[in-house]
Amino acid sequence: MMMAFSKIPQSLSFTRPRPRPTASSLSTAETQSPCLGHSTRPNFPILHQEINGSKLVYLDNAATSQKPTAVLNALHDYYEAYNSNVHRGVHFLSAKATDAYELARKKVATFINASDSREIVFTRNATEAINLVAYSWGLTNLKSGDEVVLTIAEHHSNVVPWQIVAQKTGAVLKFVSLTDDEVPDVEALRELLSKNTKLVVLHHVSNMLASVLPIEDIVLWAHDVGAKVLVDACQSVPHMVVDVQSLNTDFLVASSHKMCGPTGIGFLYGKSELLAAMPPFLGGGEMIADVFLDHSTYAEPPSRFEAGTPAIGEAVGLGAAIDYLSGIGMQKIHEYEVELANYLYGSLREVPNVRIYGPAPSETVTRAALCCFNVEDIHPTDIATILDQQHGVAIRSGHHCAQPLHRYLGINASARASLYFYNTKHDVDEFINALKDTISFFSSFK
Ligand SMILES: Cc1ncc(COP(=O)(O)O)c(C=O)c1O
């Protein structure tokens, strides 16, 4: 059933008062000592507001994260005190903006342990970073009959660029599906690899299944057959320690807006020797060495791939986000999120008629702090609408840019609750109570 209303009619509204948190309604862990969620929430002004008369519970972090005051201040300072174009001017403001922009690049490099900041290319987002590799490396290195191995759980931004490149080059895309536990089948992936495989492109953490892939192993197997690896780290870099040298991946991409930074900026990590051999993706100012009327020569990476005026303020904001995350510690963030992930999964599993996608957490299986789910006979968009309008709980519904995976699972859409370190077990309790109310609301129409 899909009741696609934009606003719930007043006659259908809940009048039931929302339970206020009391010491006894807080989870045991939260009454003992303040958790990371409680200690960091004050840093996020946006979380302290009411939506439709209820306290906001923001559980749409896999789509985008909120920004701490430190990032808002960094953006404000940049525009108020030293806004200027980079790399072009000799004046004070331009030099200061250039230093800040290049410092942000160094911060990204340190954050993911790249050996040189020149291995970091700023892009608009992860999608653009994948397109950069597809158009530059892909069109140059792939030819008819070459194989690119992917999983069916890739985000559209890690599928469509490769389809375009395959159409242009005659390369073949080979997709790995899921095991019975609903994780991408890593053994099947290993068997697919051959001397024809030129590239393996895959996510680190799934934005729908919450599963985590063993990238280090996969990179070893891919390199064994001479293939390169691109890791979509959109859902891992914000949540755990990611070390490109120990993963030994060739390319890795992520977006700033999912890791407490501004929208409009993301990055590509590429091994120096690969970037050095790649042609430009976009042409224009900043990416050239010399321009003649009939031809141009190009700058060294990363400038070669940063045509035009970059997102300077956004880079500064991303740098501030990295300082903020590093100040907390990525290992601490990860450990807290694993606890939240288990609590979310365990609580949601107890709700009748709910189907959660992806593997069950166990001693050996760590899930990310998100759950994609469906409730029998209720459309996920109806659930998300009531949660928002009646309870102030923000979740996402739809295909989460993973239509092939939804099709494989036999569904068109799902609901997704996704957490970050500023969420608490109490947020999960609020979500579960609101979901139970929503289910009884719809059940009353049956
Ligand atoms: C796993 C994954 N890959 C790629 C993307 C694309 O990120 P962006 O839209 O910031 O380019 C997302 C965003 O939801 C994602 O979750």
Model pLDDT for residues 402-432, shown as the tens digit of each residue? 999 999 999 999 999 999 999 999 999 999 9
Q: Which of 210, 200, 157 is nearest to 176 (CA)?
A: 200
For residue range 312-330, what is the model confidence (pLDDT) as tens digits? Answer: 999 999 999 999 999 999 9
pLDDT at 133: 98
**Average pLDDT of the residues of the chain:** 93
Q: Which of 368, 342, 311 is nearest to 97 (CA)?
A: 311
Q: Are strands 288-291 and 266-270 parallel, antiparallel or unpaired?
A: unpaired
Please say whether the beta carbons of 130 and 253 come within 8 A.
yes
b/e per residue, 217-242, with b = 16+ CB within 10 A?
ebbebbbebebbbbbbbbbbbbbbeb
In whole angstroms, what is the distance from residue 98 CA to residue 318 CA? 15
In whole angstroms, what is the distance from residue 258 CA to residue 237 CA? 9
Residues in contact with 184: Cβ distance below 8 Å, sequence separation at least 6, in sequence order? 151, 152, 153, 176, 177, 178, 202, 206, 209, 211, 213
256 Cβ inside 6 Å of ligand 1: no
159 Cβ inside 6 Å of ligand 1: no
Q: Are strands 296-298 and 288-291 parallel, antiparallel or unpaired?
A: antiparallel
User: Three-state DSSP class for 352?
Assistant: coil
Please say whether the beta carbons of 228 and 274 come within 8 A.
yes
31, pLDDT greater than 80: no
Ligand 1 probe mutation, 255, 260, 399, 418, most atoms within 8 A of CB: 255
In whole angstroms, what is the distance from residue 165 CA to residue 140 CA? 10
How far is CA 47 from each of CA 30, 59, 343, 422, 426, rounded to the nearest angstrom?
18, 11, 21, 9, 14
234 Cβ inside 6 Å of ligand 1: yes
Please say whether the beta carbons of 230 and 253 come within 8 A.
yes
Please say whether the beta carbons of 401 and 157 come within 8 A.
yes
Please say whether the beta carbons of 290 and 297 come within 8 A.
yes
175, pLDDT greater than 90: yes
pLDDT at 445: 81
For residue range 327-360, what is the model confidence (pLDDT) as tens digits? Answer: 999 999 999 999 999 999 999 999 999 999 999 9
Q: Whose CA is nearest to atom 16 of ligand 1?
A: 207
127 Cβ inside 6 Å of ligand 1: yes
In the predicted model, what is the mean pLDDT of residues 217-241?
A: 98
21, pLDDT greater than 60: no
Residue at 126: amino acid letter: A
- Give the confidence band of 386 by pLDDT, cuts at 50, 70, 90: very high
In whole angstroms, what is the distance from residue 38 CA to residue 97 CA? 35
pLDDT at 6: 34
- Residues annotated as catalytic are 401
Cα of 289 vs centre of ligand 1, distance in Å, is 32
Two tokens, residue 165: 């490149």
155 Cβ inside 6 Å of ligand 1: yes
In whole angstroms, what is the distance from residue 415 CA to residue 400 CA? 9
Cα of 84 vs centre of ligand 1, distance in Å, is 29
Two tokens, residue 189: 């992936």
Cα of 90 vs centre of ligand 1, distance in Å, is 37
Cα of 76 vs centre of ligand 1, distance in Å, is 26
Two tokens, residue 152: 């069916």
Q: Which of 53, 96, 115, 37 is nearest to 425 (CA)?
A: 37
H/E segment holding residue 425: helix 425-443
Q: Whose CA is nearest to atom 13 of ligand 1?
A: 63
For residue range 263-272, what is the model confidence (pLDDT) as tens digits? Answer: 999 999 999 9
Alpha helices in 48-148 (DSSP H): 69-77, 92-111, 126-132, 139-141
Count the helices and strands in the chain (H runs, E runs). Answer: 16, 17
446, pLDDT greater than 90: no
pLDDT at 173: 98
Which residues pair with residue 417 across a beta bridge?
Answer: 371
For residue range 432-444, what is the model confidence (pLDDT) as tens digits? Answer: 999 999 999 998 8
Q: Which of 136, 60, 105 is nearest to 423 (CA)?
A: 60
232 Cβ inside 6 Å of ligand 1: yes
pLDDT at 89: 81
- Nearest-5° Cα angle at 323, 321 to 328: 100
In whole angstroms, what is the distance from residue 5 CA to residue 10 CA? 12
pLDDT at 32: 55
Q: pTM higher than 0.85 for the full model?
A: yes
Q: Which of 369, 328, 368, 346 is nearest to 59 (CA)?
A: 369
In whole angstroms, what is the distance from residue 103 CA to residue 101 CA? 5
For the chain, the maximum distance between any two Cα atoms, rounded to a whole number of angstroms, is 75
Q: Which atom of ligand 1 is least distant from the CA of 232?
A: 3
Please say whether the beta carbons of 361 and 19 come within 8 A.
no
125 Cβ inside 6 Å of ligand 1: yes
